[in-house]
Structure 1
């Protein structure tokens, strides 16, 4: 197992180590699963980064960016790559999910983190809103992207949330799945338009909701239409299992 003293990021000494703005990390002390998308149900560790470039009305992690309701001094800390890697390698779980907020805002500092996680035998899954193209250093073996473009129904104008050049970069990477939050069949029609326009595949649909009752109801609204389009369907396992508790 790699220890903090053994971790080096290129030629950068530890006292000038890169830091990331982190909202929370979880999955080591209290084990959990990836709750959504292609890896739903897989044991996972989570590093949730703070800050976002969108302001979606239906966002369920507003504590990463909405400073009109949350205090950034209480909701985020600077953590070094060395400490984050040491935390992750203390667990046998292989999958590390880097989420947000929007994690790719900090991607220049994510490169050394991902490099060291991969070297330690982990695999990395990014959860991103798809507005920022990934740097070539992140498009490597062992890294996948769950790209979740936000529809207008999610409470953000699509002129901000749909960035064709970034979506095309994810498609070209060959390492992305495209996961859409939907609450109605009309949302699925919009997903189909975007998938056709930007050649997005594979498409995953996730029912909107932060309670078991809401997810169940929306699942039943969407299921037949998703199946008819031969898309993938995912639930929100962390909501069903842990009542959407923070840090689970």
Structure 2
């Protein structure tokens, strides 16, 4: 048998399709959920399996408006780790798009980040089964199932078996975007049906005024159910929240 060359034996370096990364050059915070206000670095992965009308990151999937060659790049795990390690910030948020579409590259990334003493939060829509290799100490999942009011058919956006896997993992919180009391009632139905806990509700809105108004509309109904209420800190804190 002819021996293969060293080059032939080498496996390709794992890569991820990245829309943007931020938090090193201009510091920022986690803007939603349990870690609200914590200093954070963000890696936003490109591509999504849903097409929500109210999505505020359509550059990760809507190729009728965006050219994927212009709004995403392939970056190696080694380069992403080096970027994270250039900052003292402990929390790394991996978001999208839908990041769990790229789990093959995420597994080595997460292992390296944990080895370097970082902790990781995923922002996921709850429709992609998590790889058991990602269910590690130091990794949490902010699972955000999309309601029909968000512009998505719930037959596609609510995946019972995946939600159950996240419940069983004991590494997830369930964060819903809501714009009305009707949405809160729908969240309650899903929470009861699928045994979701803990629950966070976040007001929909892309301006400080809209977020404040919706927060006041939802607050009593959320409090009555003993759920958590979160805001959207990036919108409130920064004049231009893109990349913050």
TM superposition score normalised by structure 1:
0.94
Is 1:114 aligned to 2:110, yes or no? yes
C-alpha RMSD of matched pairs (Å) = 1.0
Correspondent of 2:156 among 143, 157, 160: 160
Tell me the CA shift for residue 244 of structure 1: 4.9
Cα deviation for residue 167 of structure 1 reads 0.2
Q: How many corresponding residue pairs?
A: 236
- Which consecutive segments of 4 or more residues in structure 1 shift more than 3 A? none
CA distance in 2 between partners of 1:213 and 1:107 (Å): 37
SS of equivalent residue, structure 1 residue 16: coil
In the TM superposition, residue 246 of structure 1 has moved relative to its aligned partner by 1.3
Q: C-alpha separation between the residues in 2 aligned to 1:243 and 1:166?
A: 36
Contact 1:131 1:166 survives alignment (8 Å): yes
Alpha-carbon distance in 2 for matches of 1:153, 1:219 = 16
* 1:48 is aligned to 2:75: no
Partner of 1:89: 85
CA distance in 2, matches of 1:51, 1:242: 26
2-side partners of 1:59 and 1:66: how far apart?
10
**Structure 1 unmatched ranges of 5 or more:** 1-11
Aligned counterparts of 1:191 and 1:79: Cα–Cα separation in 2: 37
Alignment partner of 1:222 is 2:221 = no
1:134 aligned to 124, 127, 130, which one?
A: 130
**Structure 2 residue aligned with 1:239, among 235, 240, 243?**
235
Secondary structure (helix, strand or coil) at the match of 2:145 reads coil
Higher gyration radius (CA)? 2
* Gapped regions of structure 2 (runs ≥ 5): 1-8
Distance 2:102 2:122 in 1: 12
Aligned counterpart, 2:4: none
Q: Which residue of 1 aligns with 2:30?
A: 34
Separation (CA, whole Å) in 2 of partners of 1:172 and 1:149: 16
The reply to whether residue 184 of structure 1 matches residue 180 of structure 2 is yes
1 CA distance for matches of 2:202 and 2:34? Answer: 11
Q: Deviations over 1:200-229 (max 9, x none)?
A: 000000000010010001001000110011
Kept in 2, the 8 Å contact 1:212–1:243? The answer is no
Aligned to 2:200: 204
Shift, 1:109, TM fit: 1.1
- Calculate the TM-score normalised by the size of structure 2: 0.95
Select 1:123's aligned residue among 113, 119, 126: 119
